[in-house]
Amino acid sequence: MNASPTAFSSVPPAPALGRRETRLVRAGFIPLVDASILIAASELGFAATEGLQLDLVRDVSWANVRDRLAFRQFDAAHMLAPMPVAAQLGLGSNPAPVVTPFALGRGGNAITLSVRIYDGMRQEAGLSGTADALACAKAFARLVASRKAAGAPPLTLGVTYPFSSHNYEFRYWLAAGGVDPDRDVRLIVVPPPITTDALEAGAIDGFCVGAPWNMMACERGVGRIVAAKQDIWPLAPEKVIGLRPDYIEANEDTVLRLLQALDRSARWCADPEHHDDLARILALPQHLAAPVAILRRVLAGEFCLDDKGTLRRIEGYFRFHGQGANRPSPPQVLWIYSQMIRWGQASHSAAGEVMAVSACRSDLYDAALGPNAEQELDPSLFAVTPFMDGLVFDPANVMAHVEAAAIRQQGHVIAGAPSE
């Protein structure tokens, strides 16, 4: 699909970066709305304008994307924000070094439970149809306790990857309601495109995933959205571009051009006037293969919470550009590190903080786009923006946030943690 003649009118021209030779960049992605910037950069010619051929490869799981980047089948990858952090800390089954010079925006996740479980919550706790995320979490905890007392097996919940915002956000929601994610329920890994099918088949009782799969479950009448990412922590990071350090070293000019293309694409995706076109691009079979109408509503932050037409609108559900959406943020990385510590994936140390922050290559972002292209989020915001349970996060004191949590794990390894 070609962009309209006015599509580039609000995008500033990119400064020249040396010779304009065409270069191939092979990038993997998972079919999610937060791959929009990558997809638009390829489809609308933003990459070509920078002298690049951006070859996108749709993949099925985050573990596949990680491995194909590590084994040089991909030059770049659409990644969960915690993945480069885990890689730099040497965590996971294949911790090859990965860093990020560009974030793909904020928002997009939601927690969906099966209609059967949601109905059980309403019966157990008298939950209203307009209950907020914390009330839903507490109602879920009451249902879990009731099932446990009756000798029922633990409920099974899906996350997309062990080192993911979905895993940490789902755990945060569960713990805020009083559920221990490692003892009271069973967490498993489910690739995003099959979460709705797994819920409908009864293989899982709920999931946390990015759009559009939550709304797909609701419109098919098999799920109910009980919390969105913004309910848990509005500043939570989401997806990034992952690159190998050795690739950056050998192809720095290409990387700088790629960042300029992504910046232009992010500005285009952020303009609501382009969302009809963006929804049609995302709906193509090689991209998300999802209904245009659902994608358009997701981009507008308009949710059908269930198949009865219960609606909710979240302003800025997706933020593709502006307010720190694209420049890698060390304070946000430190929150990710705090969650790894909280749930036993890592131990805390000053060296660990340094290694976690090494995943952020904001220096490359600044080199490509200038230090004022998009200011990093002010760290003072972290101390005044509360989580759903009222806690705050101070990047200067990572452990204070961990130790303030009533439910957390001790030690390095979690028994029953999601496997790769």
Would residue 396 count as lying in a domain?
Answer: no
CATH code: domain of residue 144: 3.40.190.10
Report pLDDT for 235. 82
* Residues 6 or more apart in contact with residue 172 via CB below 8 angstroms: 232, 233, 339, 387, 388, 389
Q: What are the helix (H) ranges across 343-391? A: 350-357, 362-369, 380-384
- Regarding whether 263 and 230 lie in a shared domain, the answer is no
- 10 Å Cβ neighbour count for 23? 17
Would residue 305 count as lying in a domain?
Answer: no
E-only strand ranges, 139-178: 156-159
Tally of CA atoms within 13 A in the half-sphere of 167 that contains its CB? 28
Give yes or no for a contact between 344 and 410, defined as CB atoms under 8 angstroms apart.
yes
- Regarding whether 262 and 114 lie in a shared domain, the answer is no
Average pLDDT over residues 269-273: 97
Whether the bond into 212 is cis, omega within 30 of 0: yes
Tally of CA atoms within 13 A in the half-sphere of 295 that contains its CB? 23
Bridge partners (DSSP) of residue 157 are 187, 206
Q: What is the mean pLDDT of the chain?
A: 90
Domain of 84 in residue numbering reads as 23-105+237-290+320-376
- Regarding whether 169 and 58 lie in a shared domain, the answer is no
- Regarding whether 130 and 91 lie in a shared domain, the answer is no
- Regarding whether 230 and 117 lie in a shared domain, the answer is yes
- Regarding whether 263 and 166 lie in a shared domain, the answer is no
- Per-residue pLDDT of 289-339, as tens digits, reads 999 999 999 999 998 887 777 888 988 889 999 888 999 999 999 999 999
Would residue 392 count as lying in a domain?
Answer: no
- Per-residue pLDDT of 381-397, as tens digits, reads 787 788 999 999 999 99
pLDDT at 218 over 80: yes
Report pLDDT for 259. 98
Q: With cut-offs at 50, 70 and 90, classify the pLDDT of residue 22.
A: low
Count of domains for the chain: 2
Amino acid identity of 107? Answer: G
- Regarding whether 346 and 273 lie in a shared domain, the answer is yes
CA nearest to 241, candidates 89, 118, 364, 396: 364
pLDDT at 4 over 50: no
Report pLDDT for 410. 60
Average pLDDT over residues 146-160: 97
